[in-house]
Amino acid sequence: MTFTVYVPRDAGALSLGAGEVAQAIAREAKLRGLELQVIRTGSRGAYWLEPLVEVAGRHGRMAYGPVGIADVPGLFDAQFLSGGTHPLSLGLTDAIPWLASQQRLTFARVGVVDPASVADYVVHGGYQGLRRALAMSPESIVEAIIGSGLRGRGGAAFPTGIKWKTVLEQPAGQKYVTCNADEGDSGTFSDRMLMEGDPLSLIEGMTIAGVAVGAAQGYIYLRAEYPHALQALNEAIAAAYQARYLGSDVMGSGKRFDLEVRLGAGAYICGEETSMLESLEGKRGEVRVRPPLPAIKGLFGRPTIVNNVITLASVPTILHRGADYYAGYGMAKSRGTLPIQLAGNIKRGGLVERAFGLTLRELLYDYGGGSASGRPLRAVQVGGPLGAYIPASQFDTLVDYEALAAIGALLGHGGIVAFDDTVDMARMARYAMEFCAIESCGKCTPCRIGSTRGIEVIDRIIGGVETEGNVRRLEELCELMVQGSLCGLGGMAPFPVQSALRHFRGDFIARVRH
C-alpha cells in the first residue's frame, strides 16, 4: 500500500527544517522499501510544533511534532505511517486542543490542502463561492459582502462591501481589483501563511471581486521579502488558468478575469493603499492626497478595489455559505472571524483564527502559554509598528476594533507581539521613531523630519539629559506628527511612543540605570 505523509512547505516551517525533514522521510521510506507519497502543504499555524508531520489514517490525519531529521528513523521504527505511538505523537491533528478550539473559516484549508492543486481545492469546498457569484447580479454580490459585515483586515477596517459598491457604481470601463499583500507589520504573517498554504482562496476572492464590480484585471502586490509566497502564488495562478478558473472564460461564464503578481521592493510605506498604487504603476511609493478615493480614481486613474489578502480570502466563504453565516460570528461591529498572530516572546506562537471577542489574556495565556522566556509578560504591541503598547493591566481588553480603540490602541492586521519584563520601553519608543524615519516616503514634513527629531529627543531622554523638558518636547512632537502627517505612517508612528510614555513612564524618567 502507499502511505501518505504531509509536510509543510510554509516558509516558517521551512525555517525550522521542514524541508530537510521531508527529504529525510522520503529517503528513509526508500531505504525501507516503503511506498510513500509526500504532500507538501501549508502550515497549520502551530509554529511551536513545527516541523509538524502528518500521516493520513483511517480516522483522520495523525500528527507528530516538532520533528527533527534525527527523529525520522525512530518514527519509522514506531510505525508512524500507520499511526503508531512515539514520544512526538500528538494524536489526531483535528483533536489538538490548540487547533480544535479555533474557528477556522478563512484558514480552513491552510495546512490541509496541496496549495498548487486546483483539484484538491475543489474537493475541500473551493470555487463554490465563485460558482454562486456567477449566478448572481453584481448588486447582489455586493449586498452579500455588505451584509456579512466584513471589514478590511489590512488594518483600516473599512467596510469591504461599501468599497466594492463605490467601484461598481463607477461607469463601466477599465477597472481593477488589487490585492495589498505588502504585509510589513512586525508580528504579522497571516497573509504569508494564506498565500503559501491556500493561495487559490485569494485567487477565488479576487475573481469574485472582479465579477462583482466589472473588473477584468487583478494585481497582487506582494512584498519582495516573501519569495516562498511568490512561488506558491505563481504556481496556483498557473493552475487556475489551466483549469479555466482564470482567463477569458471564467468557469464557462464568458467573463474574463486575468491576474498577476507584482513585486514590491522593500518599502513599508507601500502597504498604504495609495502608495501601493503608485508602486504598482512603477513609481516611487509616495502617498497620494485623498480624495479622490482609489475606488473612484485608483490604479492608472481607474476605479480600483484595494483589499488586503485576508479580506479577499474571506470572500469565497461569504458567497458560499451566505452573509448571515459569516456575520453569525463575532460581536457588535466586528463581524466574522479574525486570524490573530501570536508573535515575539511567546511560548506557543502562531495563528489563531477565532470570532472577534476573545480577550488579550485568553490569547496570550490560553493559546500563547505565556512568555517563551518564562518571565512575566510586561507589554504587548498590537497592530504592528504603528500600534500602541498595551500593559499587562489591560490584558482583559477584548480583541475587537472598537474595544481596542477605546483604550487608545488599534487592532491593525491582528498581530500581537509579546514582550517580557526585560523590555526597555524607552528603547522601543526610540525604535518606533527610527522605523518611521527609515520608512518615511518623504512627501510630508511632520513624518520625514519629525521622526528624526523624535529619535534625537528620545536619545537625550535615554542619556538622562534634561529629562522632564525633553519628555514634554517628545509629547508635543508626537501630537504634531499625529495631527499633521499626510498618511498613517507619520500619523500613527507616535502611537507606540505615546502609549509607552503613558503606561511605562518610569522607563523614560528614572533612567539612572538600565
Partner 1 sequence: MENLASEHGEAVRRITRHLRSRPGPLLEVLHAIQAELGYVPPAAVPLVAEELNLSRAEVHGVVSFYHYFRSTPPGTHTVSVCRAESCQAVGGEALAAHARQRLGVDFHQTTPDGRYSLEPVYCLGNCACSPAVMIDGQLHGRVTPERFDALLSGADTDRKR
Q: Contact between 47 and partner 1 (CB under 8 A)?
A: yes
Give the binding range for partner 1 (CB under 8 A) out of 26-34, 94-102, 128-136, 346-354. Answer: 346-354
Bridge partners (DSSP) of residue 338 are 354
- CA 428 to CA 201: how far, in whole Å? 37
Positions 289 through 328 that interact with partner 1 (CB under 8 A): 300
User: Would strands 53-57 and 60-64 be described as parallel, antiparallel, or unpaired?
Assistant: antiparallel
Q: Contact between 345 and partner 1 (CB under 8 A)?
A: yes
Q: Contact between 287 and partner 1 (CB under 8 A)?
A: no
Q: Contact between 439 and partner 1 (CB under 8 A)?
A: yes
Asked if residues 379 and 455 have their Cβ atoms less than 8 Å apart, the reply is no
Bridge partners (DSSP) of residue 415 are 341
Asked if residues 432 and 384 have their Cβ atoms less than 8 Å apart, the reply is no
Q: Out of 350, 446, 450, 490, point to the residue binding partner 1 (CB under 8 A).
A: 350
Contacts of 488 (CB under 8 A, 6+ apart): 272, 386
Q: Say if residue 71 is exposed, middle or buried (CB neighbours under 10 Å; 0-12, 13-18, 19+).
A: buried
| Burial call 430-460: b when 16+ CB within 10 Å, e when fewer | bbbbbbbbebbbebbebbbbbbebbbebbeb
Q: Contact between 381 and partner 1 (CB under 8 A)?
A: yes
Q: Contact between 264 and partner 1 (CB under 8 A)?
A: yes
Q: Contact between 272 and partner 1 (CB under 8 A)?
A: no
Q: Contact between 48 and partner 1 (CB under 8 A)?
A: yes
CB closer to partner 1, 154 vs 264: 264
Half-sphere exposure of 118 (CA within 13 A, CB side): 18
Q: Out of 294, 385, 414, 450, point to the residue binding partner 1 (CB under 8 A).
A: 385
- CA 320 to CA 451: how far, in whole Å? 46
Q: Contact between 14 and partner 1 (CB under 8 A)?
A: yes
Q: Contact between 421 and partner 1 (CB under 8 A)?
A: no
Residue 363 CB, shortest distance to partner 1, in Å, is 13
What are the Cα distances from residue 156, in Å, to 159, 247, 276, 306, 488? 9, 31, 15, 12, 10
Residue 120 CB, shortest distance to partner 1, in Å, is 24
Q: Contact between 373 and partner 1 (CB under 8 A)?
A: yes
Give the binding range for partner 1 (CB under 8 A) out of 40-48, 109-117, 205-213, 325-333. Answer: 40-48
Q: Out of 93, 188, 274, 485, point to the residue binding partner 1 (CB under 8 A).
A: 188
Q: Contact between 21 and partner 1 (CB under 8 A)?
A: no
DSSP assignment of 387-421: SPEEEGGGTT-BSSHHHHHHTT---TTSEEEEEET
- CA 143 to CA 342: how far, in whole Å? 33
Q: Contact between 284 and partner 1 (CB under 8 A)?
A: yes
Contact map string, positions 196 to 235, toward partner 1, x by CB under 8 A: ----------------------------xxxxx-------
CB closer to partner 1, 166 vs 186: 186
Q: Out of 222, 246, 259, 280, point to the residue binding partner 1 (CB under 8 A).
A: 280
Q: Contact between 433 and partner 1 (CB under 8 A)?
A: no
CB closer to partner 1, 83 vs 368: 368
Q: Out of 113, 346, 390, 458, point to the residue binding partner 1 (CB under 8 A).
A: 346
For residue 428, which amino acid is it? M
Q: Contact between 267 and partner 1 (CB under 8 A)?
A: yes
CB closer to partner 1, 191 vs 400: 191
Contacts of 30 (CB under 8 A, 6+ apart): 36
- Write out the E strands in 58-193: 60-64, 89-92, 176-181
What are the Cα distances from residue 362, in Å, to 44, 357, 358, 367, 415? 20, 10, 6, 7, 15
Asked if residues 310 and 157 have their Cβ atoms less than 8 Å apart, the reply is no
Q: Both ends of the chain: CA-CA distance in Å? A: 63
- CA 145 to CA 511: how far, in whole Å? 52
Tell me, by CB under 8 A, how many residues bind partner 1: 64
Q: Contact between 12 and partner 1 (CB under 8 A)?
A: yes
Q: Contact between 266 and partner 1 (CB under 8 A)?
A: yes
CB closer to partner 1, 252 vs 374: 374
Positions 82 through 121 that interact with partner 1 (CB under 8 A): none
CB closer to partner 1, 163 vs 223: 223
Question: What is the binding site for partner 1 (CB under 8 A)?
Answer: 11-12, 14-16, 45, 47-48, 50, 183-189, 191-192, 224-228, 262-268, 279-286, 300, 341-346, 349-351, 372-373, 381, 385, 415, 417-420, 423, 428, 431, 435, 438-439, 441
